[in-house]
Amino acid sequence: MANYDGMTPGQVLADASVAEFIKELGLGIAKAQKELDDNSVRQMQAFTEIHDGLGERSLLELGLMPAFYHYQHADVSVSLQLRLEVGKRDEFGFSATASLGDTRQQSASSSASEAESESGTRVETRQARLEYRADATGTLSVNGTQVVPSGQEPRARLGSLLDQLTEHQDVDAMVYSPPDTALSISSDAPGHQVVTTSRSVAFTFTATANGLIAIRDNADTDYVLNSGTTVSTTAQADLGAYAEHVRSQVDAAGGFTTTLHPPHQAGEPRFGVYFDTGKAEFRSEDDRRSLTELARAFAATGTRVRLEGMTDRQGSAQKNLALGEARGRFVRDFMIANGVPESQIDLVDSQGEQRAARANDDDGTPNQEWRVTSIATPERDYYWLSLRSEGSALLDGVAPDLQGGGDGNGFVFLWQPASPDLSAFSVTVEGQAFGLNGAAVAGHAANAAEAYAHHLAADLNATGTLRANQLGHVVEVMRASDTYEIKLFSATSEQLELTGSEGLTVTQQFSRSRSRQVESREGSSTAVAIGVSVDKRESRQFNMAVTGNSQISARLASVPAPELFVEAIHALQRERRS
């Protein structure tokens, strides 16, 4: 065995005779072909033998001919795993003696050694890329198996594609990014009810009352919620205790669901949008509604926010990085659609699963805590108390009212219930006007924000040039020709062949499995001798294991014996008879 110390992986493979192994497989096919040929020739004895029962004729004379077999094609597949361990140990020992001017003598000896070795093989997740047109109706074929997306809207079809690929195919994850093309979108409806951006339309009214109280001072304060409800509070030991006191008093008054948000602290985001495993979209309508309320409050108060998409440690780090980025973008885009200026949002680069890893989660551990986009408000150093009406309770004539600015305790945001008739207004997209329709539909009440969004999305999808997704009260708008970028991830060692049709284009196939050998060695030594001997001991250990499997697939084809061959046999028979 060679000394593998310092050798490259390619040199190790050469020494392991891998090429010779593959060569032998090929020679095995050639040897099998020779056996087939020899067998075909040996058949001639049976076909040329004279049989009395056949009128002293042979099978060949009766018109029967032997078949010749050969390989129409033969494929060889080889899978190898090389494991190499390299260990090195260096030891040094020394002893020293020194004589002084008197009769005393002093001696000492010591030895030390240090060694480190690492070995292993890291298999990297493979990645493929697709482009999916917003108006795509085609299918994706994975090794010949058809995957047929279903749904009326692009996001619905992509969700169907994701579920089918990860459930039934050798695909571990699918992450997609929406088109970022800017469109010309406007509306003549009141701006506080219909918000448009270059990629979305949002109907920003609600069926229930929502409010936000800023708690900055630990001081006696009366909070007027409406004409029938006043909550009186008194100063407490500190601001945190006072904030809890305010919350308990509002809860006692009834009619509202409350949530207390402490001041921002580094490393402790106060809000979050949570996701299901492998996905970057809302889990439920409640999650969408909660983020909508936050976004409207951020927009109204000018609060700066910082977003970071995260994942738990399920799947590869490569996939988790892409998924974390997608989750962050999803929350950012939804906030912008609800009127938060993009300049007010800081979307930081996702670290994927790294936060979960630093929290000591094991690889592969599912943890909802990390399947999130965290929302931090770095400039907020005071408490927020959010209120949501549980039914018919109103927030009307509130006090202290700080919606126009100011310090101290009081209401900084109100979102009053409304169901406006917008039938006289329209939304214009790329020069096409679409009348607003608030008719009750899909369980949404007449003139509800979700009803308007449902009808607008349906109208856009009915055109030949535009497409839309409905996210509750928000409509994402794009051109029919715009494309979603899709990344597929797979850890299987099997070869996957992708084929798309009708708007689904494969731009990058899965590469074959790649592996990287990891080897490191570190040592240090020190020797000091004064008039003495030095003992050096060095040892090396190499362990190598090559495992693998091979497979030969072939298809045999039968062809008639060549005419010249048959004529030669006939001539031989005639000679024997004469």
Last residue of a domain, one of 415, 442, 473: 415
173 and 279 together in one domain: no
Question: How much is the pLDDT for 123?
Answer: 44
pLDDT at 230 over 50: yes
Helix axes 317-337, 285-301, angle to 10 degrees: 60
Last residue of a domain, one of 375, 399, 415: 415
- What tens digit of pLDDT does each residue of 530-542 get? 454 545 555 555 5
What mean pLDDT do residues 69-96 have?
58
Rounded Cα distance between 488 and 189, Å, is 41
How many domains are contained in the chain? 4
197 and 144 together in one domain: no
Three-state SS at 166? helix
Work out whether strand 483-490 and strand 173-177 pair parallel, antiparallel, or are unpaired: antiparallel
Q: Across all residues in the chain, what is the average pLDDT?
A: 83
Beta strands in 397-473 (DSSP E): 410-415, 426-429, 432-435, 466-471
In this prediction the pTM is 0.68
207 and 172 together in one domain: no
CA distances from 473 to 194, 204, 217, 427, 453 (A): 10, 7, 36, 14, 5
- What tens digit of pLDDT does each residue of 26-52 get? 777 777 777 777 777 777 777 777 777
Give the confidence band of 59 by pLDDT, cuts at 50, 70, 90: confident
* Domain that residue 71 falls in: 9-81+550-577
347 occurs within a structural domain: yes
Q: Which residues contact 161 (CB under 8 A, 6 or more apart)?
A: 132, 140, 147, 149, 174
97 and 195 together in one domain: no
Other beta carbons within 10 Å of 304: 17
Please name the amino acid found at residue 387: L
172 and 48 together in one domain: no
165 and 291 together in one domain: no
Helix axes 18-48, 563-577, angle to 10 degrees: 40
Question: How much is the pLDDT for 8?
Answer: 63
Q: Which residues contact 226 (CB under 8 A, 6 or more apart)?
A: 393, 394, 395, 396, 397, 398
